[in-house]
Amino acid sequence: MKAFMLASTKSNSGKTLVTLLLMEILKRNNKIAAFKAGPDYIDPKYHETILGSPSYNLDIPIMGINNVESLYLKHSQDKDLSIIEGVMGLFDGINSKDLDSNGSSFDLAKVLNIPIILLVDCKGKAQSVLAEILGFIKLVEYKEYRISGIILNRTTQRNFEYIKGELSNYSEIPIIGFIPNLDIELESRHLGLKDPTEIKKLKENLIRNSEIITKTINLDQLLNYIDNQKLIEGKNITFKKERFLKVGIALDEAFNFYYKDNLDLLKELGCELIYFSPIHDKKIPENLDLIYFGGGYPELFLEELNRNKSFMNDLKEKLKNGLTCIAECGGFIYLSEKITYQNKSYKGVGIFNCNVDFKNHLVRFGYNDLDFDGIKLKSHEFHYSDIIFKKKPKYLFKITKGRKTWNDGIRFKNTFGFYPHIHFYAQRDGLKFLNFILDLADGSKS
């Protein structure tokens, strides 16, 4: 099987756009398995838009090496080519001596034995790019690995030819092509890129620009350099207990941050997934055993959510009657009493006795360790809002990040609300957390 990771020297270097362009070209003759390094929810949605098939997160700090290896092999089966989009700069990750991996793109590539194609952003640079490239080559070699090829981004034919010629005097690693300045841009907002559904003519523009880079990147050379990958040996993940539950998944413009592996796992356990929209549907689907609210951008759709009073009332009634529900981040926000965003306040569903206030800066960001009554797992937070309680609650989670500790998560009957994003394959007790929720949903059926 062929595979490669598109990594880069820094964030905001054009990784996602170049990944999409390469996927658009390479999908024509290959069945592609798509992956994203790290916890990002939005980049995989771009992959899915182009490929028409799922893209999966591979996140060593959250999932651990064994689960990453197993899930990578699972999703790569019966594919011709696996493409992993890296995260941040090649070596950027967690600063910790206590972990087997810092979660960087480099560590993931080395764990999976995947060739690295290094994307180097040349905007505002000329000959100095050579020093940058040689520095990355040297450090990768020092760490007993190898860069398989280099692509120069946002540069000219002339600069490409110069850097390629100069590099050949110092290294055998090839520069396999360049990408000129293109007339396409992926717009961003506070949590990352905008959702692909918000970008007009995305597919059309990617197809048009992909034709340009077929003339500037040697794709045959790329595929030759990544051929004959020595496969890692992963362990199959098996589950003994089947669950015949109806699980409602909130999915629309406001709520769409889900790890694809979480949804797959629920189905593999025997659950029926029933999707609904808090914006467009008038009520919750009938006969659900569990509701799963993921994160997203509810703050951008508060007027639409507020207009749908019938849905909010139906949801509130069912949760008050004991329907099991987990609400992560955006879902947690939606279930509060009042939400203040850009100096304007909106009503929430009113399940939790708290208000939400959006800030103009990050409140929490990064990996942490979560302890839920002895169930311990790695999780991730990324939010600009804060919860204000009317009276001190009984918290669900104790969270630790380095030397810092804080509390998070509250419960109302069988409804759980919390900020951390939880992967069911999280290290240590991710599956225990899922089983706790499913046992509760099973019990509430009888």
Q: What is the pLDDT of residues 65-88, one digit of tens each?
A: 999 999 999 999 999 999 999 999
Provide the pLDDT confidence category of residue 9 given band limits of 50, 70 and 90.
very high
Check whether 118 has a pLDDT greater than 90.
yes
Task: Single out the residue of 116, 218, 89, 85 nearest to residue 164, CA to CA.
Answer: 218
What is the pLDDT at residue 240? Answer: 59
Q: What percent of the chain has pLDDT over 90?
A: 80
Which one has a higher pLDDT value, 127 or 139?
A: 139
- 94, pLDDT greater than 90: no
User: Six-digit token pair at 270?
Assistant: 């025997």
CATH code matching the domain that covers 2-225, chosen among 1.10.3720.10, 3.30.420.40, 3.40.50.2300, 3.40.50.300 = 3.40.50.300
Taking alpha carbons only, the member of 315, 309, 333 closest to residue 417 is 333
- pLDDT at residue 446, as a whole number: 45
Q: Please indicate whether residue 101 or residue 332 has the higher confidence score (pLDDT).
A: 332
What does the block give as tokens for 395?
């918290």
pLDDT at 224: 86
pLDDT tens per residue, range 305-328: 999 999 999 999 999 999 999 999
355 neighbors 410 (Cβ within 8 angstroms): no
pLDDT over threshold 70, residue 428? yes
Q: What is the mean pLDDT of residues 215-225?
A: 91
Give the Cα separation of 289 and 244 in Å (integer): 9
The stretch 399-422 carries a mean pLDDT of: 95
Separation in Å, CA 337 to CA 61, 249, 309, 350: 34, 21, 14, 4
The answer for residues whose C-beta is within 8 angstroms of residue 185's C-beta and 6 or more apart is 17
pLDDT at 231: 56
Q: From CA 149, how far away is CA 52, in angstroms rounded?
A: 27
Gyration radius of the chain's alpha carbons: 23
Any idea which residue has 């916890």 for tokens?
39
398-412: average pLDDT? 94
Tell me if residue 329 is catalytic: yes
- From CA 227, how far away is CA 222, in angstroms rounded? 9
122, 271, 325, 329: the catalytic one is 329
When the candidates are 3.30.70.370, 1.20.120.1200, 3.40.50.880, 2.40.50.140, the CATH number that belongs to 246-445 is 3.40.50.880
User: What pLDDT score does 56 carry?
Assistant: 98
**Quick one: which of 119, 113, 108, 92 has its CA closest to 6?**
119
CA angle 349-353-355, nearest 5°?
75
The per-residue pLDDT for 400 is: 94
Helical segments of 143-281, H only: 157-167, 202-213, 219-225, 260-268
The pLDDT score that the predictor gives to residue 228 is: 55
Tell me the helices (H) and strands (E) count for the chain, helix number first.
13, 25
Closest CA to 40 of 382, 277, 361: 382
Q: Report the chain's mean pLDDT, rounded to a whole number.
A: 92
Enumerate the domain spans of the chain.
2-225, 246-445
User: CA-to-CA distance for 311 and 305, rounded, in angstroms?
Assistant: 9
Start-to-end C-alpha separation, the chain:
48
The mean per-residue pLDDT over the stretch 234-242 comes to 64
The residue type of 132 is E
Comparing 235 with 32, the larger pLDDT belongs to 32
Question: How far, in whole angstroms, is CA 147 from its chain's centroid?
Answer: 24
pLDDT digits (tens, 9 = 90+) for 244-284: 899 999 999 999 999 999 999 999 999 999 999 999 999 99
Residue 246 one-letter amino acid: K
Are 2-225 and 246-445 the same fold in CATH?
A: yes
